[in-house]
Every structure is written in C-alpha cells, then in structure tokens.
Structure 1
Amino acid sequence: MELVWRPLSTADIPVVAALYNAGEAVDDTGELLSEEDFTESFAEADLINGSLAVLVDGTLAAYGFVVLRDEPVGTHRVRLDGMVHPEFRRDGIGRELLPRLVTLARELHAARHGVMPMVACTMVESRSAGHVALCEALGFSADRHFYELEVALGESLAQVPIPAAYEIVPFSAARDEEVRTVCNAAFAGHWGSVERSPEEWAASFTNSKRFVPETSFLALANGAVVGFVLARHYPVVEEMTGVRELWIGDVGTLAEHRGRGVAAALLSWTLAQGKAQGYHRAGLSVDSANSTRALGVYERAGFEVARTWIDYGLPVELGELRS
C-alpha cells in the first residue's frame, strides 16, 4: 500500500470531518465534531508546517495536526490530534503518523519557544485499546487521567443557595477581559494549565460559535468577578444523538473564595438555566487528581463518570535544534 503524505488544507475540512465521524462510529468516544468544529480547529493550527494528510489512491486514510500554546510556561505540552479511518487501521499507518507528528511538533516548538522543555501529548479515551497500545508502543506514558462527567437535566437537580456576600450574574462581554484574567488566576498551578492569551481566549469563548453566554454565569464579590461557569453547545451532538447537551467548558473560583460554596451555587444556577432553555444533559471534564476537590462538587451536583480520558505524553529531546 503506497502512502502519499502532504499538509492538510482548509479544502480538506469536509473529508476530515467525515473521516473523524466514521472513526467515532466505531470508537464511541462521545466526541462528535462537525465541519464547523474542524473549521475552528484548522484556524488554530499551522497547517503548512504542523499538519499531515495521509492518502491511499487519492482517498484520505488518516490525518493529524499539531496544536501549540501561545504562552507556555515551564514545559510546553504540545497537543497532537488525528485519526486513522477504520478501513485503513491495522496497516501501520498510525505507527508512522504519530512519530511524524512528533517531529513536526518538535520543529514548530523549537522555532517558537527555543530551548523550553517540550512534551508531545495526545488524549486517548481509555477504552480505545488500539490507540492506547499505539501510544505505549511508541514510548508515550500515561501522564494524567481525566473524567468525563454527565448529568441529566431532570427534576431531581439540587438547587444550591447563593452564599451570603456573593451574587450571580449572567456573563457579559463587557467583563470578558476581567473573566479571562480571573480564569488564568483560578487555574494557575493546575497540572497542565497555562495562561490563555487574549487570542486563545477569544478562540475558545468569545469568538467561538460554540460558546453559549446565555448559560454562562459569573460570581461577584463587591462587584468583582471571583468565579465563573462558561458553557458551550455543540449542535452536532444533538443532530447525531437527539440529545441536546450543554458542555461546561470551564468552572473556577479564585483561591481566596474557595470552600464557601461559590462553585456549587454557580453550577446549580447554570444547570437550572440549561434545563429551562431546553438542554437534556450537561457534561464536563475534570482532572482525576484535581487538588481543589472539584470532583466532589460535581458529584454532589449529580454528575457521574461517563468516560475516562488519558493524557499521554512523550518528552522530546531538542538538542539537535538548539544551534
């Protein structure tokens, strides 16, 4: 089987989306993506220098791309995304694709961030045995586990009162920069977390068509933002499953306001508003080793573990590129 390798282009978005969803139909990871979602992902990537299309007789058999952070600190975890079409699996394509992506990531990282330590990383759903085996065979290690949680937005939702001295208000574009700053402070010190630049923040939230300000809320103390719940909606999930899901992208509270029920109240408020707006289910992801005891907050709100994701990492030597 002769493989043709080239960079991806935006013209590939429809066929990449089709490939991805063909794979998802087999893998059942719950991560459904549309052409519009891939349009956003492609916009974040350096397609010329950081992506690959793998063709067999003119048919897209696999793809991959590299996602760098704007302002990494300490060790730069460079994300690798990609998939092999189910019809082309077990032919060694993934075993060749992943190392090529590592090489691209290494070159991009060195060009932008010099001698900063780098780890190539990729997220794997724990039941995807083939993907797990591939990562481990290539020397990746399971660095962290993340739980994907879900809760049905039914009548049994617990309503948590707003703590005294706080108020909950809808997200406002006028507070966008304040929320970004608070979010960066709230997640400082969390494993794998780095500050979001204004550009990354806009791409994830304010300029993203997936961001839902109507179900995103802020906690204020003395008029200043001290906590937040920021939500997204992916229409493709409803289109393919019939379930209207509210995805909780970020939940956070400034350290000095933790332990007072702020996050629980925010989450309760968001879930109630989500139900009122016709969502059937809410979902979120949490680090299994989160030091702020966030998992307990979510479990008390009714969330249960639906899947486990593994963040696989491979430290990459940069010595040859440092000259």
Structure 2
Amino acid sequence: MRELTWRPLVPADAKASADLLNAIETVDRIGENYTEEDTLQELIDPYADLERASLAALDGEAMVGYMKVRHKASADEVHRVFLDGGVHPAYRRRGIGTALLEAGVAAAKVVHARHHPALRLVVDVHKAEHIAGVPELARSRGFAPVRYFQRMEHALTRVADVVVPGVRIEGWSPSNDEDFRSVRNASYRDFWGAAPMPADQWRNKIVNQTFQPGVSFLARDGGVAMGVLVTLSWEADTAATGVRDAHFMVIGTLREHRRRGVASALLGHALRAAAEQGYDRASLNVDSADPMGASGIFAKAGFVPKQRYVRWALEV
C-alpha cells in the first residue's frame, strides 16, 4: 500500500466526499446516500472550520477517510462540538480511523479555544449502533455512550386525519420562515445537546436543496406560532433505494403549549401531505429521553422503530 497523504478538507472535495460516503454506505447500511451537492452543503457549513478542524486521508486522488468538527455558535456551561468521520471499507483495520479520531479531538480543542474557551468542552460522535468497530474505537480513546436515538419510519399506507381544536396549521413560505426558525429554537431549549440555530446555520442545514416546503408546517393558536415541523428529502436516497422518504427533521412545540395535541396535529397534517405528494415513507429520529415523550407520540401516529444510534461523548 502506498503512503497516504493528509490535508484539510476543502469545498472542492465535494465529489470525492460523496464518493467516499456512498462507498461507506454499501457496507454500513445506515440509509444515507449523497450527491455532490449534499456534501458541498456540509463543506460550506459556516460552523465547520475546515482549515483548523478537518482532515482528509487520500490514496492518490481518491479520498479514503475524513473527519470534520462542527462547533456551536452559542453554548451555556458546556460546549458540545460534533465530530464526524469515516473510513472507506477497503481501508479499514489499518489505523486510519484511530488517526482521524485523535486528530478530531485535537481539532475540537482548537475550535473550542477560539469560540468558547471559558466553557467545558465535550466532543460528541454520533453513529449507528450496528457499525462494526465503532464501539471498540470509541472506548479505546475514552469516549462513553451517553445517549441513544431511534430512527422511526411510517409506511404512509394508512394515514389518519388529526384535527385539534384551537390549532391552525399553515404551510411554509418565505414570509413565515423566521417564525419557523424562532419556534424551532424556542422549542428545542430543553432538548439535550441542542443549541439555537442562527440564520446562517438555518439556511445551510434546513432551507437548502433538501428542504421540502410542501411538507413543512407551522402550528398557530390565533396569531401565536407554537409548533413546527420541517421536512427534508434526499434525492440520492431515492435514487439508491427507489423509496421516496419524507424525513421530519425538525418537530417541536413551545413548552407552554405542550400536551395540547400540537405535535399530533402537525404530524397528522404532514403525513397526509406527504402521502398526497407521492412520498412512499416518512421518517424521523427521536431522542430516547426526549422531554416531550415524543417516542410515544410517534408510535401513536404509526411510526415504528427501525435503527438505533449511539451518541458517544468525551469530556476533554
């Protein structure tokens, strides 16, 4: 094996990154496929400092491994940075993953010192539970499992109408986009690990090429926005699987309006819209200890568990 070269990621790596992630998907089977546009969106994330906090491993022109760190715009007491990475299946068991993980922890310290030096630093890694080798690698570098998340799916074959008195549902438009972001930020305040999304991050992560405005809704009580549901969908997943999936990326209700059926109304409306617009399936991810008791709400709406994820954390 020739010697690998190592350098920071750059936006021009979008195609090579998509090729690597799609090769990883053929073995890990986590249901994530990418286009070049998808990976470019991640590489231009305003909170991913590629120069200081990313690394690509290359064999000639081919990318065979990567890591990147995303810091938070704001934090309170604890600054949780997100470390992502992976290794091409043909290059595993050669120490590349270990090198990338160690480089990621070092990079997390760098960006933490630049943005939130007075706070405690925790490095988070989020991986599907079934991926071979991840638990051993994470534990060997001091990471411990701190949270579990469940992917749930709804086949959209039978969708029940849900009408909640006093709850008016409206679709997304440019004029109410800021209401969507505001309700998301306010409703996620007591969600573990969540932080407010500034406008630039909202545009990068939510209102991008994957955003589905026709399946994204706001709940109001009179003129007060109190709940939100935002849907994304990935063309690469549809092309790879033949299944058109409406992924409910954001679901939140303001704390003072919970237990009124707001989330159920949003889910029912979104499921109906997804079915009418030709989606084959709806999906979402739920925290095992969600303060809204969301897993029960989703199960009642017809979602079933499909895949579990582990959040590994290292306090530095």
Q: Scaled by the length of structure 1, what TM-score is found? A: 0.94
CA distance in 2, matches of 1:308, 1:232: 20
Q: Tell me the residue number matched to 1:229.
A: 229
3-state SS of paired residue (1:25):
helix
Answer whether contact 1:54 1:62 (CA < 8 A) is retained. Answer: yes
Matching residue's letter, 1:148: R
Answer whether contact 1:227 1:254 (CA < 8 A) is retained. Answer: yes
3-state SS of paired residue (1:94):
helix
CA distance in 1, matches of 2:154, 2:177: 28
Q: Tell me the residue number matched to 2:37.
A: 36
Matching residue's letter, 1:302: G
3-state SS of paired residue (1:105):
helix
* Matched positions, count: 313
CA distance in 2, matches of 1:3, 1:204: 32
Q: Scaled by the length of structure 2, what TM-score is found? A: 0.96
3-state SS of paired residue (1:173):
coil
Q: Tell me the residue number matched to 1:319.
A: none
CA distance in 1, matches of 2:180, 2:59: 47
CA distance in 2, matches of 1:120, 1:220: 37
Q: CA deviation at 1:58?
A: 4.8
CA distance in 1, matches of 2:171, 2:110: 43
Answer whether contact 2:16 2:62 (CA < 8 A) is retained. Answer: no
Answer whether contact 1:124 1:132 (CA < 8 A) is retained. Answer: no
Aligned Cα RMSD in Å?
Answer: 1.3
CA distance in 2, matches of 1:308, 1:203: 26
Decide which of 97, 115, 120 is 2:118's aligned counterpart.
Answer: 115
Q: CA deviation at 1:57?
A: 4.5
Q: Tell me the residue number matched to 1:272.
A: 272
Q: Tell me the residue number matched to 1:62.
A: 65
Q: Tell me the residue number matched to 1:77.
A: 80
Describe the superposition over 1:253-309 as per-residue Cα deviations: whole angstroms up to 9, x where unpaired.
Answer: 111211111110110110101010000000100101112111111001110111001
Q: Tell me the residue number matched to 2:166.
A: 165
Q: Tell me the residue number matched to 2:254.
A: 254
3-state SS of paired residue (1:181):
helix
Describe the superposition over 1:195-216 as per-residue Cα deviations: whole angstroms up to 9, x where unpaired.
Answer: 111211222223x111111111
Q: Tell me the residue number matched to 1:320.
A: none
Matching residue's letter, 1:122: V
**More displaced stretch, 81-90 vs 108-117:** 108-117
Q: CA deviation at 1:14?
A: 1.0
3-state SS of paired residue (2:210):
coil
Q: CA deviation at 1:164?
A: 1.5
3-state SS of paired residue (2:175):
helix
For residues 164-313 of structure 1, what are the structure 2 equivalents within 5 Å? Answer: 164-206=165-207, 208-313=208-313
Answer whether contact 2:169 2:219 (CA < 8 A) is retained. Answer: yes
Answer whether contact 1:50 1:105 (CA < 8 A) is retained. Answer: yes
Q: CA deviation at 1:59?
A: 3.5
* Percent of aligned positions that are identical: 38
Contiguous gaps of at least 5 residues in structure 2: none
Q: CA deviation at 1:129?
A: 2.3
CA distance in 2, matches of 1:199, 1:11: 21
CA distance in 2, matches of 1:310, 1:302: 24
Q: Tell me the residue number matched to 2:127.
A: 124
Decide which of 84, 97, 122 is 1:94's aligned counterpart.
Answer: 97
**More displaced stretch, 252-261 vs 144-153:** 252-261
Q: Tell me the residue number matched to 1:321.
A: none
Answer whether contact 1:78 1:105 (CA < 8 A) is retained. Answer: yes
3-state SS of paired residue (1:174):
coil
CA distance in 1, matches of 2:37, 2:29: 20
Q: Tell me the residue number matched to 2:49.
A: 46
Q: CA deviation at 1:125?
A: 0.5
CA distance in 1, matches of 2:306, 2:196: 28
Q: CA deviation at 1:176?
A: 1.8
3-state SS of paired residue (1:299):
helix
Describe the superposition over 1:150-189 as per-residue Cα deviations: whole angstroms up to 9, x where unpaired.
Answer: 11011x222212x222211112221222222221111112
Matching residue's letter, 1:48: E
Matching residue's letter, 1:123: H
Matching residue's letter, 1:75: V
CA distance in 1, matches of 2:85, 2:11: 15
